[in-house]
Amino acid sequence: MADAQVQTPQGDIRAAIEVPDGTGPWPGVVVLHDALGLGEDIRGIARRVADAGYLAIAPDLYSRGGALRCTRTVFRDLIRHEGRTVDDILAARDHLAAREDCTGKIAVAGFCLGGGFALIASPKGFEAAAPFYPSLPSSFEKVIDGACPIVASFGSRDPININGEQKLRKGLDARGIEHDLKTYGGAGHGFANKLAGQPFARVVGFGYNEQATEDAWSRVFAFFGTHLS
């Protein structure tokens, strides 16, 4: 793993980069963290993406002062569907695209907060988007006009995304956007994130679920294989 500085319209931000074994060039994936920021869990996910044959970059959307100082700005941008955070995500994509070991075909994947931004970014020059339990305070339909193909994963016990699959499917079907959506029975919000406090989290509809995680990633990588090859 290597950390990099990504140039954005409002100054540099930090990002973690994971490179596959072997010789490139490889397609890329921008990995967007949840509300807890760029921690070991997201870094591990970036490594999983690289092990599957994709050049991965995980930008730190809290680079300008940490979670306490940046949360308001990031969530404001999530609600507005635009702003500095979206610019940072696109800058991370451009950073990958400029590398000699990248093919230029790039997807975006995100979790919770990052899943919401993955949907917001889906019409903005990506080959595919993989939101996991995307958190958006407003309708999915407001952000998916012109979206790239989408592979999304939800949990049936997610208190934040009640009927999320059905709502997103309706919007994608209406627009003729290719998609692969699935809701995992018994899984909650954050089912693909290994975070602290798991026993309590499961009680309130959160928590890691290995079976759902493995199936979701198998779908995501199959989808990426189709759209980024």
CA triple 103-104-109, angle to 5 deg: 105
- Residue 205's nearest CA partner among 151, 172, 164, 166 is 164
Tell the residue number behind the tokens 């993406």, with chain if given.
49
Confidence (pTM):
0.94
Tell me, what's the pLDDT at 163?
92
Question: Taking the alpha carbons of 192, 198, 201, 205 in that order, is the dihedral positive or negative?
Answer: positive
Q: Which amino acid is at 89?
A: I
Tell me, what's the pLDDT at 206?
75
Contact 79, 138 (CB under 8 A): yes
CA neighbours closer than 13 Å in the CB half-sphere of residue 37: 13
- Residue 34's nearest CA partner among 224, 194, 162, 203 is 194
223 CB contacts (<8 Å, ≥6 apart)?
Answer: 128, 130, 149, 151, 180
User: What is the bridge-based pairing of β-strands 2-6 and 13-18?
Assistant: antiparallel
Indicate the SS3 state at residue 104.
Answer: strand
161 CB contacts (<8 Å, ≥6 apart)?
Answer: 133, 134, 135, 154, 155, 189
Q: SS3 string of 32-50?
A: ECCCCCCCHHHHHHHHHHH
Per residue in 22-34, pLDDT (tens digit) is 998 999 999 999 9
Domains and CATH numbers, the chain: 2-228 (3.40.50.1820)
Tell me, what's the pLDDT at 204?
45
Q: Which residues of the chain have pLDDT under 70?
A: 1, 66-69, 196-205
Q: Which amino acid is at 131?
A: P
Tell me, what's the pLDDT at 24?
86
CA neighbours closer than 13 Å in the CB half-sphere of residue 85: 28
